Chain A
């Protein structure tokens, strides 16, 4: 276990370094894009003198490295700074949206992760039967539809036609948990449909991949029930790729759902990030970027740890 702890500590340290590099790259990247916030906000009304005055007010006339260090210094002290566009504290802006994003991601994950694992195991168990074929075909067709299109179809059916679920999400602080769940039902369903196929197919493939291993044959020879073989022997040994794919999809649920946010008018982080990039509101982009990067680093680390735990040989290897 010490090994794991050691690895976690090392990786956390490297994670911090990664964060700094990512934030620096984002900073350079956004700086490299044409135009800056003053021109983005003034739009067609940008003239040299209004832009110059605006820049000065926002300290944009300082050299890039100075602005970056100022920002970094703020972050280290837990201060995300102010939005350049509307002077609101970024911490407040992001906090609310982050909780919305996480709420949607967690709800969707609670539905799709167990469901796709179960379907994946069943497909492996009954592979090449009509059940397997139908599950595969349906899920593959579903992921072939762009996510906004899945959303449109669900809205057309469940919202316009039958008027069961709201086509857009309105979240209020004083809503009960179940009201919230009802509000986010359609975006949640859309996301689940979009990510399920990937996890399900990988579970199925990984299980089939280990079925030829000697220990499975051994178990078979011992006369163990095939359902037990798959669930208790094959599945645990195929976990490593499955974990990685699940983690990739969880990350997607958090950072990649802009389109779903737009279609369902969901006030999440993705929308904020897109708006801020368009307006070149660097501190906000940076803060969103840091959150997304942290998500990836944290999830990748989790995947690596779980992979190691799931394979004792890895745990004790060098």
Chain B
């Protein structure tokens, strides 16, 4: 392990402070810029201003929304969650885990036991002081037989959670996981008071307190005067409006009815941008759109046929027409260039009719016709993407029939049921997390039914490998395996495209999820 990498790991796992890290890096004769870990610490020129009433018009809210951390799924829920609550760990704009309600943490050398030291004196909105009991309750809420939490699988790796004293929690895993702090930053795991049964009041330790909550219509929160974080949560009041029509959102922004909107209509965003009062914020995150082929169903069980389909898609045209340029081409694996362990040496697959024809010939399935199932629910523009794909593949002699499925029930009736369908993945901040979510042969969401022993072995080994270089080599090999063999066609990574009034200011914006990882209420301010 190189010295710098080792220092980075120490910093990452909070074994050393940032200041110490800088001193030691300097001692190595390196400039601080050499490490991406420091970027988040170097203050930006703009100083946040306090005050103001932020109005957001967001897609992703529904009348049936609940604020139970176990049932969080969509944008508005996530945003309110982070307005009102904190987790143990926060992932900063550079994709690194930083302390939130845990002041620091350390792991055993095999990364199988983690000790979290809680921040002292943090109060919930109701005045109760947060302690280890609350942490235990909040995490156990997602564990055990009876739990219906969406975060349940993430915490499966936990063998035991116990408190050693009022402010220390020790978590034992059933195997090493160097990325465990990332897991605790997930939106499912905010810390709520011990014994909570009704979560709808949004009780937490966060920067804002709910004053009015009409799910699917609007939610109003007021600044928590007692907030423990300094330099965060700048607004006096926030009004979060649920606006599901794209046109209504952009009009609301253009007419000044709201200050921030998410998911701009990509077809018209360049027109919206012309307004002198509006800025478009785009972040390249981990969200990717896929066409999943089941590798155990004919004709997709034929590797050459899969490759033919992978060469027969014009990724550039997809990005240009489906994403209006707000995205990047994909290379049939889910790792983005912004992620640690991305292997940039791998060749980018291009639209190559000759190669597609070659592999089609080799597969011996020349007159095969396949059905591609799509719906807008799969991702924005999935139907259009399917239609374009059909036209592109036609030139390579591959016949794709696009079948539009109803949005309603798509995830139940089509995804994981039809052998070839459109899917979106919001992605995960770490390579291990993403791979174990959908690519490991045993995972529930392995929607391509891809089984590759080499891949599975590497995944396990890499997970507990603390040597960054060795780990990188393993992930590079896995990246190639997925790209060349797996049933996943990943033509594009979609940017998060948001619109905001020019009055809104911010530091570097995280790309993990939209709206600064759903934490814009805490991170942004009025200039």
Contact = CB atoms under 8 A, between A and B. Distances in A.
Check A-B contact in the complex, CB < 8 A.
Answer: yes
Interface of A: 33-35, 38-51, 53-54, 56-57, 83, 85-88, 93, 152, 155, 159-160, 163, 166-168, 170, 262-265, 267, 271-272, 275-279, 281, 284
B65 A85 contact: yes
B211 interface: no
Interface residues of B, number: 44
Q: In this complex, which of B62, B63, B73 has the most chain A Cβ atoms within 10 angstroms of its Cβ?
A: B63
7 contacts: A35-B413, A42-B71, A85-B66, A86-B65, A168-B248, A262-B245, A275-B62
Given A53-B148, A85-B66, A43 B251 contact: no
Contact of B244 (A40, A50, A87, A262): A262
B70 to A, nearest CB: 9
A54 B63 CA distance: 19
Nearest to B214: A267
Contacts of B344: none
Contacts of B217: 267
Contact of A53 (B145, B252, B255, B257): B145
Contacts of B412: 34-35, 39-40
B147 interface: yes
B270 interface: no
B148 A160 contact: no
Interface of B: 57, 62-67, 71, 73, 145-153, 198, 200, 214-218, 241-245, 247-248, 251-252, 254-255, 257, 408-409, 411-413, 444-445
Given A42-B150, A166-B257, A265-B245, A86 B444 contact: no
Contacts of B214: 267
A53 B147 contact: yes
A88 B200 contact: yes
Nearest to B417: A34
A271 B145 contact: no
A271 B413 CA distance: 23
A41 B149 CA distance: 10
A50 B445 contact: no
A3 to B, nearest CB: 44
In the A-B complex, the 4 residue pairs with the smallest Cβ-Cβ separation, listed nearest first, are A35-B412, A45-B150, A85-B64, A54-B148
Contact of A45 (B65, B73, B247, B252): B73
B255 A163 contact: yes
Contacts of A277: 408
Nearest to A42: B150
Given A35-B413, A42-B150, A279 B64 contact: yes
A39 B255 CA distance: 38
Contacts of A44: 411, 445
B248 A50 contact: no
A50 B150 contact: yes
A86 B200 contact: yes
Given A41-B71, A44-B411, A160 B65 contact: no
Given A39-B411, A275-B64, A47 B153 contact: yes
Nearest to B407: A278
A144 B254 CA distance: 28
Contact of A160 (B150, B244, B255): B255
A167 B251 contact: yes
Contacts of A85: 64-66
A258 B215 CA distance: 17
Contacts of B200: 86-88
A3 B152 CA distance: 65
A12 B57 CA distance: 44
A279 B247 CA distance: 24
A151 B444 CA distance: 44
A168 B251 CA distance: 9
Contact of A263 (B62, B215, B248, B254): B248
B66 A87 contact: yes
A285 B120 CA distance: 46
Contacts of A93: 63
Contacts of A167: 248, 251-252, 255, 257
Given A42-B148, A50-B149, 16 more contacts: A35-B411, A42-B150, A45-B153, A50-B148, A86-B67, A87-B198, A155-B247, A159-B255, A167-B248, A264-B248, A265-B248, A267-B216, A267-B217, A275-B63, A275-B64, A284-B63
Contacts of B66: 41, 85-87
A53 B146 contact: yes
A265 B252 CA distance: 10
A43 B73 contact: yes
A252 to B, nearest CB: 20
Q: In this complex, which of B65, B66, B241, B251 has the most chain A Cβ atoms within 10 angstroms of its Cβ?
A: B251
A160 B254 contact: yes
B409 A35 contact: yes
A28 B112 CA distance: 50
Contacts of A56: 146
B256 to A, nearest CB: 9
Contacts of A53: 145-148
A38 B149 CA distance: 10
Contacts of B152: 47, 49-50
A278 B406 CA distance: 11
Contacts of B408: 33, 277-278
Contacts of B148: 38, 42, 50-51, 53-54, 57
A74 B3 CA distance: 69
B149 A276 contact: no
A46 B73 CA distance: 11
Contacts of B243: 168, 265
B146 A34 contact: no
Contacts of A35: 409, 411-413
Contacts of B252: 167-168, 265
B62 A34 contact: no
A40 to B, nearest CB: 8
A40 B150 CA distance: 12
Nearest to B67: A86
A155 B251 contact: yes
A262 B248 CA distance: 8
A48 B183 CA distance: 22
A276 B147 contact: no
Contacts of B151: 45
Contact of B409 (A34, A263, A272): A34
A77 B411 CA distance: 37
Nearest to A163: B255
Nearest to B257: A168
B73 A152 contact: no
A282 B164 CA distance: 45
A281 B64 CA distance: 8
Nearest to A280: B409
Contacts of A272: 63, 216
Nearest to B445: A44
Given A42-B150, A87-B66, A271-B63, A33 B247 contact: no
A83 B444 CA distance: 29
Contact of A50 (B147, B254, B409): B147
Contacts of A170: 218, 241
Contacts of B251: 155, 159-160, 167-168
Q: In this complex, which of A35, A50, A265 has the most chain B Cβ atoms within 10 angstroms of its Cβ?
A: A265
A113 to B, nearest CB: 28
A42 B64 contact: no
B61 to A, nearest CB: 9
A277 B247 CA distance: 23
Nearest to B73: A43
A155 B251 CA distance: 8
Nearest to A38: B148
